[in-house]
Amino acid sequence: MPVRPALLAILGLVLFQAAAALAADVRWLADVRQAPTNPPREKLGKLAPLLVAETGQPITTREDWELQRQRIRDEWRKFLGPMPEPRPAVKLEVLKTEFVGDGQSALPVTRQLVRYEGEPGMFVEGYLLTPIANNNETLPRPGIVALHQTTNSSIDEVAGASGPDSMQIGLKLAKRGFVVFCPRCFLWQSVKDYNEAVAKHRERHPNSLGMAKMLYDAVRGVDVLVSLPGVDTKRIGAVGHSLGAKEALYLAAFDARIKAAVASEGGTGFRSTNWDAPWYLGPAIRDENFPLNHHQLLALIAPRPFLILGGETGSGAADGDRSWPLIEAALPAWRLYGEPTRLGLLNHRQGHSISPESFERIAEWLETYLRAD
């Protein structure tokens, strides 16, 4: 019996839509969504179920989850403490301009050290990395907030002004076509050490944690990007390694302008790294009955693509198989938005590092989920 033309058309449309859906994701998405075998589950803290309302009733719809989501967000913001609002308008003062080009296939980049108002009356430095367009490119470009790791070089390494190639993730992403902004963390902004930075922060904001300040400064990094005419404000991402990964997690959770993000070796679990330090969350999280946990932040990110890179069981690793239970606890909220869930764990098992292969996965994740519609 011959197939009718109308049926062929429908079949073709279905196949086209399936191919388009497949092309919309990284080819290895299924791999990072796969649960590891017997992940460690001790010392996770309290993992309150996400889809249970305050009344004890199960949450089964996205509409009810959105109410729960706002409640969770409000609880976290209360714990973190307030920061100044409204935020100052962005006015960039250019302190230095350099041209970075390697003569290869990568795009040449303009690297500018800029100064801007972070909190009202307080000025912060950061690097703005802008690819130099050629005649065949379509503007505006996607933007990335690249948050630096713990290093006395602070923004120099992530922006490629110094340090090993593996840590120059901001510059390498700019060479691939992103406008990248690298803000300096307050722990290195006009202070001698972390303790002085925390003390000054508490003088200004006695009811706000160090992580509230880091989140605020990361949000200001987004403000900088969206103020630029060459940046597509609907295609903003975030990336960070170590300390920067912690900031990327919080930024993605609390700033909906972030459309995709990658956190490399930040330590998703409270016990994975020094989350109890005074410049992060403080000692309250040591209590096993502390009501909040990071699975809630992962749920706040849904359904925007978020990838965790781990190096477990390599030297000094902060993320890996032990991170999976927090992802697992967040997935029920993600599934309310449909499949596939774009929340994953890539455990490269090379310690607290970014290998060349891992960076390629970071870049592919951001290129895929920040591409133009």
Query: Which tokens hold the place of 326?
Result: 């927090």
CA 7 to chain centre: 44
Say if domain 26-36+43-86+139-369 classifies as CATH 3.40.50.1820: yes
Average pLDDT, the chain: 92
Contact 197, 191 (CB under 8 A): yes
Q: How far apart are CA 288 and CA 276, in angstroms?
A: 13
Q: What is the predicted pLDDT for the residue at 68?
A: 98
Tens of pLDDT, residues 211-270: 999 999 999 999 999 999 999 999 999 999 999 999 999 999 999 999 999 999 999 999
Q: What is the pLDDT of residue 11?
A: 33
Q: Do 126 and 156 meet the contact criterion of CB atoms below 8 Å apart?
A: no
* pLDDT for 101: 84
pLDDT of residue 372: 78
Contacts for 276-285: CB closer than 8 Å, 24+ residues apart: 277/194, 277/210, 278/195, 278/198, 278/210, 279/187, 279/194, 279/197, 279/198, 279/210, 279/211, 279/214, 280/209, 280/210, 280/211, 280/214, 280/246, 281/209, 281/210, 281/211, 282/209, 282/210, 284/79, 285/45
Residue the block writes with tokens 């992530």: 158
Which residue ranges in the chain fall short of pLDDT 70? 1-23, 103-105, 135-138, 373
Tell me: the pLDDT tens digits for 65-74? Answer: 999 999 999 9
Model-wide pTM > 0.75: yes
| Ranges of each domain in the chain | 26-36+43-86+139-369
